[in-house]
Amino acid sequence: MLQDFLGLEGVPVGRRHLSTRMRTMGIEALYRRPNTRRPPPGHPVFPYRLRGLEISRANQVWAMDITTIPMRKGFAYRAAVRDWATRRVLFWRRSNTMTTDFCIEAVEEAVHRQGKPGIFNTDQGSPFTSEEFVGLIQGHGLPVSRDGKGRWVDNVWVERLWKSVKYEEVSLHAYESVAHARQGLHRYFQFYNERRPHSSLDGKTPDSVYFDLLPIQQAA
């Protein structure tokens, strides 16, 4: 596209020469790169602990994932901790970069507010395989569960959360700024937990199911 654009402006240039000049000047296209969450070599490997497990209690299993949130200029990252059985979003954090710190903050706040889960599940993204993040989870005495490589279905409930977020909120608003995105997503997550019915919950909301199941778990 840039080669054709320059040609229309009367500046003929070859594609390879243009690519060389762009690299020299540090110019590159802005796009979502593949494998941005690839784990580093030698990262710790953990089994997927949820296969065949009946998950029916609040705080029995928590899952965490990260997604990109497009804005009018650029994009941001959003991490969420979700209760598996009730679909409730326990806590979320935003960041401008794919780092570990905002994931750690989300987990710490979720534990502080809701207690500890029985199992903590994530994918194999680099923020979750970092020494700091693994140390945090194990420091709380939580068994780590990790999705199989390339198996998005292993963390399907969090993937469905992001689908709902983008279809019902993000795609309807061209966020002007990070502050605008933060306000919109905060409003949506409140709606998601408190008012949005789920067919998988027999038409109930995540909040109602989560708090109904808590006394059962505490009694057990």
Strands 89-95 and 75-83: antiparallel
pLDDT tier at 179 (50, 70, 90 boundaries)? confident
Across the strands, what pairs with 94? 78
Q: What is the gyration radius of the CA atoms in the chain, in angstroms?
A: 21
User: For position 36, what pLDDT does the model report?
Assistant: 45
Which range (78-87, 92-101, 134-143, 203-212) has the least confidence? Answer: 92-101
Q: Is the pLDDT assigned to residue 207 strictly greater than 70?
A: yes
CB under 8 Å to 207, separation ≥6 — which residues?
88, 193, 194
Q: pTM value?
A: 0.74
Q: What is the DSSP string of 141-184?
A: TPPEEEPPTT-GGGGHHHHHHHHHHHHHTGGG----SHHHHHHH
DSSP strands (E only) in 22-72: 61-70
Percent of the chain at pLDDT above 90? 35
User: For position 91, what pLDDT does the model report?
Assistant: 93
Which range (42-56, 92-106, 187-201) has the least confidence? Answer: 42-56
Q: Residue-wise over 152-164: b if at least 16 C-beta within 10 A, else e?
A: eebbebbeebbee
Amino acid letter, residue 95 = S
pLDDT tier at 30 (50, 70, 90 boundaries)? low
Q: Residue-wise over 125-146: b if at least 16 C-beta within 10 A, else e?
A: bbbbbbeebbebbeeeebebbb
Long-range CB pairs of 92-95, under 8 A, 24+ apart, other chains included: 92/185, 92/189, 94/69, 94/178, 94/181, 94/182, 94/185
Q: Is the pLDDT assigned to residue 125 strictly greater than 60?
A: yes
Helix axes 101-114, 131-139, angle to 10 degrees: 10
Mean pLDDT of the chain: 83
- Rounded Cα distance, 71 and 88, in Å: 25
pLDDT tier at 75 (50, 70, 90 boundaries)? confident
Which range (157-161, 180-184, 197-201) has the least confidence? Answer: 157-161
Torsion of CA 149, 151, 152, 154, to 10 degrees: -110
97 DSSP 8-state letter: S
